[in-house]
Amino acid sequence: MDLPVMPPLLPMLAKARAGVPDQPDGAPEWLYEPKWDGFRCVVFRDGDEVLLGSRNTKALDRYFPEVVAAVKAELPQRCVLDGELVVPRERDGRVRLDWDSLSQRIHPAASRVAMLAEQTPAQVVAFDCLALGDDDLTGRPLHERRAALESALDGAGASVHLSVATTDADVARGWFETFEGAGLDGVVAKRLDGPYRPDQRDMVKVKHHRTADCVVIGYRKHKSVDGVGSLLLGLHGSERMHMVGGASAFTNVERKRLLDMLQEYRVGEDVTYSGEPNRWNAREDHSFVPLRPELVVEIEYDQMESDRLRHAGRVLRWRTDKSPEQCTYDQLEVPARYDLKDVLAR
């Protein structure tokens, strides 16, 4: 492979902001895009050589052979694109992004990789062009890279898509409210005159933030600190308690304090969590310490994926004023359903 931009490459990142930034008076400053919550992927193609680089530069090509084939069929002979790997699936008559199916694609067994590539094929949504032909575009302003991206995807087909974009802040705010129903994660704003800065937080991301009261049903020990690594959270369903995810991001002082506080609620020895393992690290320990379901905590979260938190929540406060029985799915806000095909067709 011999491209003007070569792997490994750490992609440009975003910093969080509370709301979609307004355009200043005069010429537009921002380009707004939906936030595609899949696997970040930098696509390198030089003829028949294709490499799919992850956010931390790990190669993804062996897990997504159908994407490698799509890149060869639908993209220019020599290009480097920044984008997201997603798995669209139909649910209740609508197509939306399926995070669970995407996460299951990282598997060590070649036979299972081949099976999943056929059963839950991934697609690429591209939102930046870093190189085209012999031209390194990373130093060019975004509006020039966007034009190059549109040119590169002019012949794309069913598996490689151009991310929708707008310079209208009100349109972007509308996307923030509606596109979540198709499995998207918020809105990203990029400076139209900005170059591509690998591993720098030069973009702005606006994500959904909601709160929920959950029952603390267990904890995992921290790997290197004598304290709690994460809390396991539950919600009452129609017939039983459901494990919905976890909360983490504690300071070392908090980890040790939590470990002391939770000892009186322990109900037995460590057990093994029966959920899907982390396929980036097959040796990761998935045991946890079960607790009596008596403590309630208020968390902040972004999205639900089916009946679970898509990402780990953040503890806001302990709710001694709430009973565990009040922690049900009824409190969760459910976004209006939206079809992913309508997003991609814009």
Distance CA 234, CA 240 (A): 10
Helix H or strand E encompassing 160: strand 160-162
- Whether residue 39 is predicted with pLDDT greater than 80 in this model: the reply is yes
| Residues with a known catalytic role | 35
Total-model pTM: 0.75
Instruction: Mark out the alpha helices in the chain (DSSP H runs).
Output: 65-74, 99-103, 110-119, 142-152, 169-178, 252-262, 340-344
What is the pLDDT of the chain when averaged over all its residues? 89
Cα separation of 287 and 120, whole Å?
29
Residue 214, strand partner residues: 297
- Return the closest-CA partner of residue 123 out of 158, 156, 80, 150: 158
Q: Which domains does the chain have, with CATH numbers?
A: 13-207 (3.30.470.30), 210-331 (2.40.50.140)
CA 225 to each of CA 54, 180, 257, 278: distance values in angstroms, whole numbers, following the listed order: 29, 37, 12, 21
Q: What mean pLDDT is predicted for residues 62-78?
A: 97
Structure tokens at 229: 């690594």
Q: How confident is the model at residue 274 (pLDDT cuts 50, 70, 90)?
A: very low
First to last CA, the chain: 34
Report the alpha-carbon distance of residue 166 to residue 155 in Å, rounded: 22
Range ranked top by mean pLDDT from 65-69, 211-215, 237-241, 265-269: 65-69
Write out pLDDT tens, residues 169-222.
999 999 998 887 777 888 999 999 999 999 999 999 998 878 889 999 999 999
Name the residue type at position 274. Answer: S
Q: Which two structure tokens, joined as six digits, stand for 317?
A: 């406060």
d(CA 206, CA 153): 26
pLDDT of res. 345: 52
3-state secondary structure of 266: strand
Instruction: Name the band, by pLDDT with cuts 50, 70 and 90, for residue 336.
Output: low
Please say whether the beta carbons of 153 and 163 come within 8 A: no
Closest CA to 88 of 153, 154, 156, 159: 159
Q: Cα–Cα distances in Å, from 16 out to 12, 187, 315, 338?
A: 14, 10, 18, 25
Q: Provide φ and ψ at 206, rounded to 5°.
A: -120, 115
Q: Give the C-alpha separation, 251 to 258, whole Å.
A: 10
Q: What is the pLDDT of residues 221-231, one digit of tens each?
A: 998 889 999 99
> Between 110-119 and 65-74, two packed helices, what is the crossing angle to 10 degrees?
50
Q: Is 71 helix (H, G, I), strand (E, B) or coil?
A: helix
What's the whole-number mean pLDDT along residues 324-336?
81
